[in-house]
A and B are shown apart, each in its own frame.
Chain A
Amino acid sequence: MTLSPDEARELAVRAVEIATSAGAGHAEAVVIASEHSLTRFADSRIHQNVSTLDAVVSVRAIDGQRSGVSSTNRTSDESALAECCASAIDAARRAPADPFFPGLPQPRTVTSPDRSVDSTRAFGPRERAQAVAAIIEQSVTRGAKAAGGIAVTDQTVAVANSRGVAVSMPVTTYRATVLSMAPDGGSGWASDTGRDVRALAPAALGDRAATLAARSADPVTLGAGVYPVVLAPEAVASVMEMLGWFGSSAKAVDEGRSFMSGHAGERLMSPSITLVDDALSEHACGLTFDFEGMPKQRVAVVDHGVVGDAVTDSYWAARTGRPNTGHALPAPNAFGPLPMDLALEPGDSTPEAMIASLDRGIYVTRFHYVNIEDPIRAVLTGMTRDGTFLIEGGRLTRPVRNLRFTQSAVEALAAVGGVSAERQLVGEETATLSPYLLLEGFAFTGQTT
C-alpha cells in the first residue's frame, strides 16, 4: 500500500526541514508515492502481470539564485534523506547562478478534490484477470485474438517548501485497452480510462474492439492525397497532445519554437476549436496542483480558433511576465511547463452526422507513432491503425490499409467541418478529453503494405 496523503505531506515537510537545517537557504521537496499494477494480455492470454511499490522524495535546495536537486527512494532511511539533502545543497552551492530564478513560490490556496477511489485501489490481480477474461471472450468467440491491458494506479503526491507550501493529494486511475486482431488481418481498438474502475464494462469494451476488427477485414489500398477525415477521439487526442505538449509551454513560445510564437491573439484555426488545459474539470483524473504545489489554472491555449495563453510555472511566469498557471513539472525541468489535462471543447455534432455529410472521406480510429517534423507549422507525421475506413456516399464502406499522414495540425484545424458533443477521456495520468472531429482536408502521403 502506498503512502497516505498525510504521510506523504509529512515526508515532504520533513525533507524540507532537513535541507534547511543542513544549510539550504530555501528548499522544496516533492514526494511521489505509488503502487502501480498492470495485467497485460496478448494472443488471448495473460502474458505479463506486474505490480510495483515505490516512493521517491526529490529535494530542491536553493542558495540565492543557485539551485540543485537530488532524489532518493530510500524514504524511510533518515541517513539516506540527509544524504539526499546534502547532495542537493552541495550542487546548489557549486552551481552557477541563474539570474532569472525568481525564488520558490509562496503558498496559494489549492482545491484538492478527493480523486482516489477505494474500488480502484482494491482492484487486484484476480479482479483484473476476470475483467481480462470478459474482454478476451468477445474476440475469441468471433475467431479473433485479443491483446491489451488493464492498469491500476494508486498514487499520492505531496509538495512542500520552506515558504510554507504543504499540499498533498491521492489519485487513483485505471486504464483498459484492447486490440482485437481478426484472422483475415483486420484489427480494432477500444480503450477506457477513469478514476473509478466500477465504470469499466469489460465485455462492452471487448465487443467494441472485436466489432471494429471484424469490419476491418480485407482492406483496400488508397492513393496518397488530401482527403476529408473524421477522426475518432483517440486520433484527436494524438494531435491535441502534440500541440499541447510541444506547443503550449511558455518556454517553447518564448524560444520561438511553438506554433503559438508570435501569433498571440491571432486566429490560426477554425472558431470551433477551443483547446484548454483544465485540471479542475469534472472529467480530469490528475492532480489539481503542480509539482511546485501551485494550483492548476484553466488555460485556453486556443480560444475559438484564436491563439490563447501559454501554460507557465513559477520560473516561466516570472521570466515572461505571465501569471503562474500551475503547470510545473518536477525540478529540474528542462522541458518547461506542461499541460496534463488537455480538453478540446465539444461541439454539437455527432460522428454519424459527420460521416453522413461526406461523399468521400476517411475515418480514422487512432494514430500510431506520431512525431513532429516542424514545430512552428506543427507538421506531424504518423500512421493510422486499428480501424481506418473509407467514407463513401455518407457511409463507412470499405476498410483501408493503414495510411501515413504528413500534415500541419494548425492548417488542418483551420478548416473544421464539425466537432461532436460526445467526448472520450484518452490516456492515463495525462489524459486528454477528446471529441470526434471532421477536418475538411488531411494529407495522406503514403501507405503501408
Chain B
Amino acid sequence: MRGFTASCLDSATSAGATYADVRVTDTRTERLSMRNGTPEGIETASSLGFGVRVVSDGAWGFASSSDLSEGSASTVARQAVAIARASALVCARGVRLADVPAFEDAWSGACDIDPFSVSLEEKLAVLEAADAAMRAQKGVSLALSSMSFLSSAKTFASTEGSFIEQRWVESSAGIVAYAIEGADVFPRSYPNSLGGGCYQAGWEAILGLDLAVHAPRIAEEAVALLEAADCPSGPATLVIGGSQLALQVHESVGHPTELDRVLGDEAAFAGTSFLRLEDLGTLRYGSDLVSVTADATIPGSLGSFGYDDEGVPAQRDFLIRDGLLSGFLTSRESAPAIGRASNGCMRADGWSKTPLVRMTTISLEPGDAGTLDDLIADTDEGLYFDTNSSWSIDDRRLNFQFACEAAWEIKGGKLGRMMRRPNYTGITPVFWGSCDAICSPSEWTVWGLDNCGKGEPMQTAHVAHGAAPARFRGVEAGVGR
C-alpha cells in the first residue's frame, strides 16, 4: 500500500500540489432484515477505492476512483490538481492548514467476535426469535427486525509524512413493533429507533442486546398506544429519555458547533449556525448543569477512531462547559479561525468523498440526579418522553421540533398513564437553559447513530452521543393539536 499511496502523492506534487493526502478505503458490509417472519433482504457488499485531496494554487481539489491500478493513481492525482486549479479561479484567499505532526501509526477498534465469522443461520435465528416474540402480542400487525455489520480498513498518507492504517468493525441491530388500526400507526422500537443500537464492536454487542427478551415489552406498548390519550398541549416539565436526548444533543449542539457551518461552508444545503466565532467562551448555551464534550476516544462508540481523515489524533474536548460555549468541532483549515489546533473532526463517508467536519461522540455529561426512577420521583408533575420518531430543526439550528414514540404522565413523582403522539418544540439555548436535572453516570449510555447526513454529495457519518435522562422545565409540548 505504501507504494500506491506514494505514487499518488508523488504524482500530485509533480503536477503542482503544495499539499496532498490520499485515503485508500476497503469496506465490507452485511445487512439482514426481516418483516413479519419473512426475510426482506440478505445482502453483502464490498467497496474499494481511493481519494486524493490536494491544495494547488491555494485552492482545494479532490478526485477519487475505484480503479487502483498504478496508472489510475497518477491520473486521479493529476485530476485532483486540475480541479484545484479550477477552484483557484474563484478562490479569493489561499488555504491555510493548522499544523499537525506527522504520524506513522496503526489503530484498530475493539471487536471480540468478528461478526463476519458468525453464520448467517445464527444471525437469522436472533432476528426470527425477536420477530416471533413481537408478533405473539395480539394487535401487532407489523414486526420489523434488522441487523447490519461493517468492516473497514483505511490507509491515510500525506505529503507531510503521515502514514496511518486503521481498522474497525461496527455491529448494529434493532426491532420495531407496529400497532396499526384505522388512522392510527404506532411504532415502538428497541433499543432505539433509526436503526436500533449501533456500536463499534463485534457480534458480542448484538448478543448483549437480548432482542427477543425486550420484544414482548415494545410489542405490548405499541398496542397500548392505540388506546392511549393524546399528549396534552402547552408548556410542560419534560423528563427526556437517553436516546431522545442523544438526538437532541445531535441536532441542537453537535451540528451548530461544527465550525465549517459557523463559517458558512454548508450554508446552501444544511444551513449555518446561530453561533458566531465571538460567542466562544461567552455565550450561555444552557444552564450550569449542561456540559457537552466531543470525544473520539470512547471504546466501543461509533464516533471513535485513532486519527481523523486529516491525520489528526483522536481527542476529547469540551464544547460546552458549565453552560458556556467553550469549543467547536474543527478541522485543520477551520481551527485557525478560533486560534486553535484542529481537534480532529474531519471524516469522509468512504473513499469517494472529501472529508468534512463531523461529529465524533458528542455527549451531554452526566449529572447527579440519580437514576431515572429518582428523577421521576423528584418530579411532581410532568411528562416522560421516550424514543424519537420524528425530527426537524431550522437552518441555523435554533427552532427544533421532535416527536417521540411514547410518553407517560408523571404525577406526584410517579409514572402514570401512557400518552400517544408526544412532540415538543423549542429554541436551542432556551431549551438547554431550562435543564434543571441530569441523571447520574449509572444512567449514562452512548447511543450510536449511523445516519448523520451532511454535505453535497450527501455524506452519511457514523457518530454517537452519550446521554442520561434529564429534566427540562416549561417546554412547549403537544404542538399542532
Contacts and interface: CB of A to CB of B under 8 A. Distances in A.
B90 A52 contact: no
Interface stretch (A5-13, A214-222, A296-304, A331-339): A331-339
A372 B39 CA distance: 27
Contacts of A445: 401, 425, 479-480
Given A379-B480, A449-B398, A149 B456 contact: yes
Contact of B120 (A42, A69, A94, A379): A94
Interface residues of B, number: 85
A359 interface: no
B479 A257 contact: no
B141 interface: yes
Given A375-B185, A376-B183, A52 B51 contact: yes
Given A38-B456, A332-B40, A376 B185 contact: yes
Given A181-B267, A374-B185, A385-B394, A446 B425 contact: yes
Contacts of B60: 46-49
Given A73-B47, A125-B82, A404-B399, A99 B390 contact: no
Contact of B403 (A73, A181, A373): A373
B43 A68 contact: yes
Interface string B266-289: 111101001000000000000000
Interface in A66-96: 66-76, 80, 84, 87-88, 90-92, 94-96
B293 to A, nearest CB: 26
Contacts of A40: 268, 456
A402 interface: yes
Contacts of A414: none
B395 A51 contact: no
Contacts of A255: 141-142, 178, 180
Interface string B48-81: 1101000000011111111100000000000100
Interface string A378-403: 01011101000000000000000010
A interface secondary structure, majority: strand
A213 to B, nearest CB: 12
Nearest to A255: B142
B268 A96 contact: no
Interface in B19-65: 31, 33, 35, 38-49, 51, 59-65
Interface stretch (A113-121, A127-135, A283-291, A320-328): A127-135
B396 interface: yes
Given A96-B38, A445-B480, A51 B83 contact: yes
Contact of B89 (A43, A126, A149, A332): A126
Contact of B39 (A42, A90, A96): A96
A129 B185 contact: no
Contact of A331 (B41, B93, B184): B41
B87 A69 contact: no
B188 to A, nearest CB: 15
A95 B59 CA distance: 51
Contacts of A47: 60, 87, 91, 265
Contacts of A41: 90
A56 interface: yes
Given A42-B267, A96-B38, A151 B457 contact: yes
Nearest to B31: A332
B296 interface: no
B120 A402 contact: no
A85 B144 CA distance: 27
Contact of A145 (B89, B178, B264): B264
Contact of A406 (B41, B263, B389, B479): B479
Contacts of A45: 90-93
Interface string A28-52: 0000000010111111111111111
A145 B51 CA distance: 30
With most chain B CB atoms within 10 A of its CB, the pick from A87, A96, A98 is A96
Nearest to A175: B456
A371 B268 contact: no
B390 A381 contact: yes
Contacts of A53: 64-67
Contacts of A368: 271, 394-395
A44 B92 contact: yes
Contacts of A88: 44
A124 B79 CA distance: 11
Contact of B42 (A91, A181, A385): A91
B401 A404 contact: yes
Contacts of B352: 52, 54
Nearest to B127: A96
By size class, the interface of chain A is 35 or more
Nearest to B93: A45
B39 A98 contact: yes
Nearest to B92: A45
Residue among B44, B265, B480 with the most chain A CB within 10 A?
B480
Contacts of A149: 268-269, 456
A264 to B, nearest CB: 15
B121 interface: yes
Contact of A73 (B46, B61, B86, B121): B46
B44 A91 contact: yes
B184 to A, nearest CB: 7
Contacts of B93: 45
B396 to A, nearest CB: 7
B393 A369 contact: yes
Interface string A323-357: 00000000111100000000000000000000000
Nearest to B427: A449
A332 B43 contact: yes
B107 interface: no
B56 to A, nearest CB: 11
Given A47-B60, A91-B42, A100-B38, A373 B423 contact: yes
A95 B42 contact: yes
A69 B41 contact: yes
Nearest to B91: A45
Contacts of A250: none
Nearest to A128: B86
Contact of B264 (A43, A55, A71, A331): A43
A69 B142 CA distance: 24
A155 interface: no
B401 A151 contact: no
Contacts of A75: 66
Contacts of A371: 390-392
A151 B455 CA distance: 13
Contact of B184 (A58, A370, A376): A376
Given A73-B49, A256-B180, A91 B264 contact: no
Nearest to B146: A334
A136 interface: yes
B90 A133 contact: yes
13 contacts: A45-B91, A50-B83, A53-B67, A71-B44, A129-B89, A130-B89, A136-B90, A332-B31, A372-B390, A381-B401, A383-B399, A446-B425, A448-B427
Given A132-B90, A375-B185, A445-B425, 14 more contacts: A42-B263, A73-B66, A94-B120, A125-B87, A129-B89, A133-B89, A148-B268, A256-B141, A334-B41, A369-B395, A377-B183, A383-B394, A385-B271, A406-B401
Which 7 A-B residue pairings sit nearest by Cβ, starting from the closest? A332-B41, A406-B480, A125-B86, A448-B399, A179-B268, A147-B268, A147-B267
